[in-house]
Homo-oligomer: A and B are copies of this chain.
Amino acid sequence: MKNSFGNSVSVTLFGESHGAQIGVVIDGLAPGIEVDHDFISSQLSLRRPHGRISTARREADEYSIVSGVFDGKTTGTPVCILIPNCDARSNDYASNRSLARPGHADYSANCKYHGFEDYRGGGHFSGRITAPIVAAGAIALGALAKKGIRIGTHIKKCAGICDRSFDNINDDIATLSCMDFAVLDSDAANKMSEAILVAAAEGDSVGGVLETAIIGVDAGVGEPWFDSVESQLAHILFSIPGIKGVEFGLGFDFADKKGSEANDSFCMSNGKIVTVTNNNGGINGGITNGMPVVFSCVVKPTPSIYKTQATVDFINGVDAQLSLNGRHDPAIIHRARVVVDSVSALVLCDMLAMRYGTDWLRG
């Protein structure tokens, strides 16, 4: 249903980059979940551009929750979170209105909406629309944490530089939760930052790969057809702007493995059934097997760059040249990680509420 996602717990998204307000409605959250405003603010702050490696745009993200929360707790009815837009320099965009920015949705949106779309700053396609998702995700993350379910994402690769792999996932998630720039190896972090600054200096941008781990989900969650855990996570992940690939466990590396290398043997460990390796990323047949759920997403380089690009004027149907002004990120991968955590939390809440009932998340 387009801008809604989820069954028992669902999110509905609205807003444009330069409209009056953007926001989200989360429906189906159990009543009695504590809403931690500090955590929401801190998550929004992680998503916001900050530091030298981000755009100079200032996004305040002064959200308000206008429904579904009473006396600091969810009521069980829809939670609407609003974030007003401000500091919007619409004029930066108006002059280029009919020039399709390469890598952006301008042209495909024009084909879909016949010119009625709000073209300013990407409109409804803008990465800015992820801010309300992050606010919603913060509530979900908080509720999951109380049930022992925790989610963490690090930048596995950026501009050709690789972070170390997850090691002790529990500890790594704790470490990541305190980091602005979510790279586990500090040398790699420094090199990535450098590479981003170099790209920025060239008027260019870089992409990367995010790796996410989820711990604490019991075995038996998910569906074989068509709502496998992979299907549901991938569905919502692929709606994040810039994400062009999703893989679980070994992912594309499975292509070079034999079955005998790829299969995860089972064994007993302290009376519990576990797998010796976790090549399948915690999912067998679309269903969790009790091991950490592990997946990676690739984030393409930010399409807004300062180099002059060949394009078309899609209203007049002629070739054209495009030089972008405005303020743009040389990389968004460090900001995207909090969005990945957020959508993962939301889709997990949905799967768990479907399986265990609407009150389960209340604890």
Contact = CB atoms under 8 A, between A and B. Distances in A.
Contacts of A305: 259-260, 263
Tell me how many chains of this kind the complex includes. 4
B355 A358 contact: yes
Interface stretch (A43-51, A168-176, A235-243): A235-243
Given A107-B284, A232-B235, A284-B107, A2 B248 contact: no
A207 B13 CA distance: 38
A23 B309 contact: no
A134 to B, nearest CB: 14
Given A21-B66, A66-B23, A103 B310 contact: no
A299 to B, nearest CB: 7
Interface string A229-258: 011101110110101111111111011111
Interface in A58-88: 64-68, 70, 73-80, 82
A328 B309 CA distance: 52
B77 A118 contact: yes
Interface stretch (A141-149, A179-187, A217-225): A217-225
Given A27-B1, A245-B247, A224 B286 contact: no
Given A284-B104, A354-B358, A77 B260 contact: no
Contacts of A317: 268, 271, 273
Contact of A250 (B160, B227, B244, B260): B244
Contact of A108 (B82, B219, B252, B255): B219
A301 interface: yes
A312 B272 CA distance: 10
Contacts of A158: 255
Interface residues of A, number: 156
A286 B309 CA distance: 22
- Which of A32, A118, A249, A254 neighbours the largest number of chain B CB atoms within 10 Å of its CB? A254
A216 interface: no
A54 to B, nearest CB: 15
B112 A239 contact: no
B239 A286 contact: yes
A286 B280 CA distance: 27
A20 B63 CA distance: 13
Contacts of A318: 268
A10 B16 contact: no
- Which of A7, A218, A238 neighbours the largest number of chain B CB atoms within 10 Å of its CB? A238
Interface string A284-301: 111111100000001111
B248 A245 contact: yes
The 5 closest A-B CB pairs, nearest first, are: A105-B285, A245-B247, A111-B220, A205-B259, A31-B116
14 contacts: A3-B224, A4-B12, A22-B67, A108-B222, A226-B236, A232-B235, A245-B251, A246-B246, A260-B305, A267-B311, A273-B314, A354-B357, A355-B359, A357-B360
Given A102-B263, A103-B284, 20 more contacts: A3-B226, A7-B7, A8-B354, A21-B82, A22-B67, A108-B222, A108-B283, A111-B288, A204-B259, A204-B260, A205-B258, A207-B254, A209-B255, A226-B239, A230-B244, A251-B298, A254-B298, A254-B301, A265-B310, A355-B358
